[in-house]
């Protein structure tokens, strides 16, 4: 199993959409995929699950108060949320309440070969606990290390339960304590970018922060982790970046887009890889066009954009667009598989 965190310090670049579609395409290519929602906004979870499933999973009072007949109907119509399912917030609740260690739950089966560890808005409450635990990790405090490694251990347990080949971790757009713990749990990091000033600024912030977290974990914390606590390596190897093309506006001409696009390779090399030179676009995994017109159809149909049919409203020229979308995501997934294989080889060496 190898894990990939999809992360950008700037929000609104299509990170969750990328995670959702990449998970489905990797599954189509025969990989056993576990998607993990560590963004407190839980957008990835809402993309995979219907509202009644979310209400049941999150224990909304209205659902909890329903009678046996209504609960049975929900279970028949939406069978994926089983009794042993639980969110990341539920898994870390014993730590937040000071009652013990993480509580492991079974991931939710989305389809054959694809599972989800669902998120919850309540996860944001874990931020303060993680912030307080971080400096105490430097002395090898077991409680602090259990807190900091909670995400890693939840992911590892879920991946073992389903024998996952690839884990995709959706991470929120900030450099806070939740994301530090989430990224430490990842073997590699894939960065979705827009060709604009804000993404470049995000890269300049992200790169040094990742290196600092990696260094602190591997040199200061890892040697002090008790053998009884499973802990990540903290490698967070940069996998590369994906350019998410925007919808062109009259106030933002193509020339401006190209200017920012041309700067990304050098900024990525300098800020993320700490290199002073870069082969032209050697770290670019893919450029995905804007599929904004397909999103409403995909949302209504509760399926990936590249699975849209005529019955879903994808008719005429729209179906051609769906085919292009499928081809682009297939090429992206194949490239990700190749690069993950390279990371495995590097790690083995």
User: How many beta carbons lie within 10 A of that of residue 269, not counting itself?
Assistant: 20
The three-class DSSP label of residue 119 is coil
For 200, residues 6+ apart whose C-beta sits below 8 A from its C-beta are: 260, 263, 264, 267
Instruction: For residues 202 and 13, give the distance between their C-alpha atoms in angstroms, rounded to a whole number.
Output: 11
Distance CA 137, CA 13 (A): 33
Closest listed residue to residue 304, CA positions, set 12, 36, 5, 18 = 18
- DSSP structure class, residue 14: S
Check residue 62 and give its pLDDT: 54
CATH superfamily of 2-292: P-loop containing nucleotide triphosphate hydrolases (3.40.50.300)
* Residue 113: per-residue pLDDT: 97
Residues 6+ apart with CB under 8 A from 159: 1, 3, 34, 167
Pairing of β 114-117 and β 166-170 = unpaired
What are the boundaries of each domain within the chain?
2-292
**Residues 274, 207: contact at Cβ < 8 Å?**
yes
Q: What is the pLDDT of residue 229?
A: 96
pLDDT for the residue numbered 185:
97
pLDDT in tens, the chain (349 residues): 999 999 987 777 789 999 999 999 999 999 999 999 999 999 999 999 988 888 888 877 655 444 455 555 555 455 566 656 789 999 999 999 999 999 999 999 999 999 999 999 999 999 999 999 999 999 999 999 999 999 999 999 999 999 999 999 999 988 999 999 999 999 999 999 988 888 888 888 889 999 999 999 999 999 999 999 999 999 999 999 999 886 555 445 567 778 888 888 888 988 898 887 655 568 899 999 888 789 899 999 999 999 999 999 988 888 999 999 999 999 999 999 999 999 888 777 6
Dihedral angle, C-alpha 298, 302, 188, 222, nearest 10 °:
150
Between CA 177 and CA 130 the distance in angstroms is: 6
Model pTM?
A: 0.91
- Provide the 8-state DSSP code for 236: -
CA dist 20 and 2 (Å) reads 17
Go through the chain and tell me how many residues it has.
349
At residue 228, φ and ψ (nearest 5 deg) are -80, -10
pLDDT value at residue 250: 45
Total H helices, total E strands in the chain: 14, 8
The string of DSSP letters for 322-341 reads HHHHHHHHHHHHHHHHHHHH
**At how many degrees (to 10) do helices 88-96 and 150-162 cross?**
140
| Burial (CB count within 10 angstroms: exposed 0-12, middle 13-18, buried 19+), residue 152 | buried
CA distance 11 to 195: 13
Local structure of 83: helix, strand or coil = coil
């Amino acid at each position: 199993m190898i894990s990939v965190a999809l992360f950008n310090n700037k929000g609104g670049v299509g990170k969750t959409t990328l995670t959702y579609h990449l998970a489905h395409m990797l599954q189509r290519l025969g990989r056993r995929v576990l998607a993990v929602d560590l963004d407190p906004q839980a957008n990835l979870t809402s993309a995979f699950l219907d509202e009644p499933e979310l209400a049941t999973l999150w224990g909304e009072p209205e659902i909890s108060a329903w009678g046996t007949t209504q609960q049975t109907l929900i279970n028949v119509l939406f069978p994926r949320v089983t009794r042993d399912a639980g969110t990341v917030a539920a898994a870390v609740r014993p730590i937040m309440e000071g009652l013990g260690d993480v509580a492991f739950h079974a991931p939710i089966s989305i389809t054959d070969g694809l599972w989800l560890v669902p998120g919850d808005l309540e996860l944001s409450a874990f931020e303060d606990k993680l912030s307080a635990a971080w400096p105490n990790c430097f002395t090898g405090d077991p409680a602090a290390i259990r807190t900091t490694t909670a995400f890693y251990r939840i992911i590892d347990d879920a991946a073992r339960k389903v024998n996952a080949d690839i884990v995709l971790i959706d991470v929120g757009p900030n450099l806070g304590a939740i994301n530090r713990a989430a990224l430490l749990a990842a073997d590699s990091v894939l960065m979705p970018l827009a060709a604009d000033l804000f993404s470049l600024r995000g890269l300049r912030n992200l790169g040094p922060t990742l290196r600092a977290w990696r260094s602190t974990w591997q040199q200061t914390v890892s040697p002090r982790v008790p053998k009884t606590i499973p802990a990540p390596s903290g490698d967070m190897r940069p996998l590369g970046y994906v350019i998410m093309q925007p919808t062109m506006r009259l106030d933002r001409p193509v020339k401006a887009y190209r200017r920012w696009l041309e700067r990304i390779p050098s900024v990525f090399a300098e800020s993320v890889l700490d290199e002073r030179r870069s082969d032209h676009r050697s770290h670019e995994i893919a450029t995905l066009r804007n599929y904004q017109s397909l999103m409403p159809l995909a949302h209504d149909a509760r399926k990936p954009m590249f699975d849209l049919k005529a019955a879903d409203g994808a008719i005429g020229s729209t179906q051609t667009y769906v085919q292009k979308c499928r081809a682009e995501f297939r090429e992206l997934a194949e490239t990700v598989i190749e690069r993950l294989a390279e990371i495995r080889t590097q790690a083995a060496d």
